[in-house]
Amino acid sequence: MFKPLDGVKVIDLTYFVAGPGAARILADWGADVIKVEPSFGDPGRGTGATMSCPTVKDCNPFYTAYNANKRGLSLNLKSDEGKAVLYKLLESADVFVSSYRTGALRRLGLDYDSLSKKFPHLIWAQINGFGDFGPAKDNAGFDTVAFWARSGAMIDLTEKDTSPINPLIGFGDATTSCSLSGGICAALYHRTTTGLGEKVDCGLLQVGCFLLQAPIQSGYYGKVMPRTRYDPNQANSNTYQCSDGEWIFLAATDYNRQFPKLCKEVFNRPDLLEYVSCAPLPKMNEDDPYYSAEATHIPLVVWQNSEHPEICQAFIEYLYQTDNYLDFLAAVPVGMLPSIKGIDENEEYLSNSIVQQFSDEAAIITEAVNEGTAIGFEHGPSAQAGLLANQGIIEEMFQDIITNGTDVETAAKAAEDELNEIFATMVA
């Protein structure tokens, strides 16, 4: 196994999840990690009991997940003797990583200013809740508060008009672990040119905000969060529940290539292409070099001239039948959302270090779908209206037909009226 940090010595003064996770990553990469605990041990040793995990001496899976591959010892750092032992370890160490709060480290003489003077070669790393600056810098930081609640993820990632997410324990912590371990490696590389140590700090809140860059930026331009699955960016890129209760995520974002492949190779219904058409969004201006936004990939799926509504209804109902989602795996990037307990039985997880790409690009059907009449395009297409409204309206129409049993023509007419109302306000 590749061990890029072989020969690197790390002193690990961390507890619970985020800090231990960062040190565990370094250990996995070959570093010699020595974990230092107080006499009563890392509080994380007992945390697994709150999640139905055993916490006995030889079986503590929650603790082990974040502390594997480490050596360890217990020190009383409030005593001169204990501090002397730690200083002796730091003389030959490359990295000191801690999740103690800055005030506690300062009182122990283990803050960056103190240790950088004694050990100028040392990479000093800290993980905390809210970063090293600001009014909350000394507050206790748990991932449920700092990462999830304060970043906005707890409410903005939920389904609209439901309660906030009840997040998985340790998710934000472990994500922040990855960021800190990367920062430590960058500091080690920097030391190869300067010979000097460096300060590396990482906060749960900062990582949470970084991961939310896309919705944060789109929010400045009018995107409202939280969202609902009935208002997706694309109707053909969304979650769907099958009749057996399992959920899938369909990511057939390139309609012109992937929908024909589904009809011909998965459903064995090439005749559907005669009735279902796509209307890509246009360029904003005729001389623009590119189509607007993802215009070539965001279609309106409609009944061509609405002459065979029963064909579309049958097609959509087929998607919801038991086990049909498995057929998607060979055609488009779509996968069942497995429950956590099912991961150990999922061949995709067992046999691949990363999820393999589906299909051979060269073999994808490239034959164009005949252009049809798109609902609501009587006055000409509108890129803005398409981007903002059409996918959610079409999605609601499909759900109305399938879930509520609404007559196809009635649902189609309601969608047409809604789209036309929008287009009337947006197309000159």
Catalytic residues: 173
Distance separating alpha carbons of residues 34 and 55, to the nearest angstrom:
21
DSSP string, 81-141: HHHHHHHHHHHS-SEEEE-S-HHHHHHHT-SHHHHHHH-TT-EEEEEESS-SSSTTTTS--
DSSP lists the bridge partners of residue 56 as 59
Distance, CA of 412 to CA of 422 (rounded, Å): 15
Report the alpha-carbon distance of residue 96 to residue 137 in Å, rounded: 20
Cα 233 to Cα 218: distance, rounded to the nearest angstrom: 13
| Amino acid at residue number 349 | Y
**Pure H helices in 195-270:** 204-211, 213-219, 255-261
Max CA-CA distance within the chain?
87
Helix (H) or strand (E) holding 250: strand 247-251
Rounded CA Rg of the chain: 28
Instruction: Please check whether residue 382 is in contact with residue 427, taking contact to mean a CB–CB distance below 8 angstroms.
Output: yes
The single-letter DSSP state of residue 229 is T
Q: Do 149 and 166 touch, CB atoms closer than 8 A?
A: no
Assigned token pair, 138: 């000394």
88 Cβ contact partners less than 8 Å away, ≥ 6 residues apart: none
